[in-house]
Amino acid sequence: MSEKKDIILSGMRPTGKLHLGNLFGALENWVRLQDEYHCFFCVVDWHALTTAYEESLNIKENVREMVLDWLSCGIDPDKAVVFQQSDVKEHAELHLLLSMITPLSWLERIPTYKEQLQQIEGRNLATYGFLGYPLLQAADILVYKADAVPVGEDQAPHIEFTREVARRFNYLYDRKVFPEPATILNEYKVVPGLDNRKMSKSYNNVIEISIPPQEIPSRVRMMITDPGRIRKSDPGNPQICSIYAFHRIFNQLELKNIETACLEGQIGCVECKNILSGWMQKFLEPVFHKRRELEKDPQIIEDILNKGREKAREVARSTMQEVRSAMGLL
């Protein structure tokens, strides 16, 4: 471990197989960051339980599927520490100790808390665990003394909250135990779903990262184009077309041509979709084969997580010594 590299931590809830929205919204950033920083990438299985506590039986399988996706997209366990939250009990201890100094009002005012309480239907989220979600996240980050956290915009308030908790701890115990982590906003590519809404598992409109290449054309054919276009000679509007949004990601090279051809009614949507499918296959084929390779070894994910656990623990343990000492427990 090089000493001068900044430490980065990020986490994802184990939702099972990831989709292209996850890849171009978060994972791509992680892959880039692992070369420059000392990265910890955490499967936050306890966080999954804060909302899905009635479905806990799936978590183990979901962890495996998600880590397979991470690796097939280029997360490299030799560069980054890949591990599972519940394997490192120090997160729980820090969460508990920080709960002593965290005013309830700080948690209650976090925007995601109020929004999700209202939005998520059919579940009782008036729980202690759900209110504490951001504090558990703060513990994930602070236990590694992370300097920065790459997240989507929706998570920015949680990192701000983490800084406040760190500041309060350092102030109360008069020691600089925790750095105040910076927010790195993920570079984000817009990925519409098959129905042109945002790609999201809850809308059932996703393309999985692990899609077999031969299934890509049929999935692309299902995607919605400019609804105003009936004949090939009708001028189209690429700006409202999800196929065009995908060309932006997968076919930078011909983007201008596609745009012009569409605007001038020189290309039909079927042809445009075929071109896109070809580029997507080219991009996703190596990802698919990498995954197949990894899947052959039933032990590999467990081995990687075990190794990650040991590396993560070492850091977390040493932080907790400082925390206990600062709070007068040692």
11 binds, among ligand SF4, ligand TRP, none (CB under 5 to 8 A by kind): ligand TRP
Is 13 a binding residue for ligand TRP by CB under 6 A? The answer is: yes
Largest CA distance in the chain: 77
- Compute the least distance from the CB of residue 297 to ligand TRP, in Å: 28
151 binds, among ligand SF4, ligand TRP, none (CB under 5 to 8 A by kind): ligand TRP
Nearer to ligand TRP, 69 or 140 (CB): 140
Nearer to ligand SF4, 274 or 306 (CB): 274
Q: Please check whether residue 111 is in contact with residue 161, taking contact to mean a CB–CB distance below 8 angstroms.
A: no
Nearer to ligand TRP, 18 or 44 (CB): 44
Among 22, 34, 137, 225, contact with ligand SF4 (rule: CB under 6 A)? 225
Nearer to ligand TRP, 158 or 247 (CB): 158
76, 87, 184, 295, 306 from 302: Cα distances, Å: 15, 12, 29, 12, 6
Is 66 a binding residue for ligand SF4 by CB under 6 A? The answer is: no
Nearer to ligand SF4, 184 or 267 (CB): 267
115: part of which helix (H) or strand (E)? helix 111-119
Nearer to ligand TRP, 95 or 273 (CB): 95
Secondary structure of residue 204 in the 3-state scheme:
coil
131 binds, among ligand TRP, ligand SF4, none (CB under 5 to 8 A by kind): none
- Compute the least distance from the CB of residue 38 to ligand TRP, in Å: 15
Dist. CA 300–CA 257, nearest whole Å: 44
Torsion sign, CA atoms 197, 208, 190, 232: negative
Is 125 a binding residue for ligand SF4 by CB under 6 A? The answer is: no
225 binds, among ligand SF4, ligand TRP, none (CB under 5 to 8 A by kind): ligand SF4
Q: Rule CB under 6 A: which of 264-303 touch ligand SF4?
A: 267, 269, 272-273
DSSP 110: -
Is 90 a binding residue for ligand TRP by CB under 6 A? The answer is: no
Nearer to ligand SF4, 60 or 197 (CB): 197
216 binds, among ligand SF4, ligand TRP, none (CB under 5 to 8 A by kind): none
C-alpha dihedral, 53 to 184 to 301 to 59, nearest 10°: 10
Is 63 a binding residue for ligand TRP by CB under 6 A? The answer is: no
Q: Give the closest residue to 219 by CA, choosing from 203, 207, 210.
A: 207
The residue assigned the tokens 């997968």 is 250
Dist. CA 104–CA 106, nearest whole Å: 5
- CA triplet 13, 243, 281: central angle to 5 degrees? 70
Q: Give the closest residue to 184 by CA, choosing from 139, 158, 148, 140.
A: 148
Binding residues vs ligand SF4 (CB under 6 A): 225-226, 229, 236, 238, 241, 243-244, 262, 267, 269, 272-273
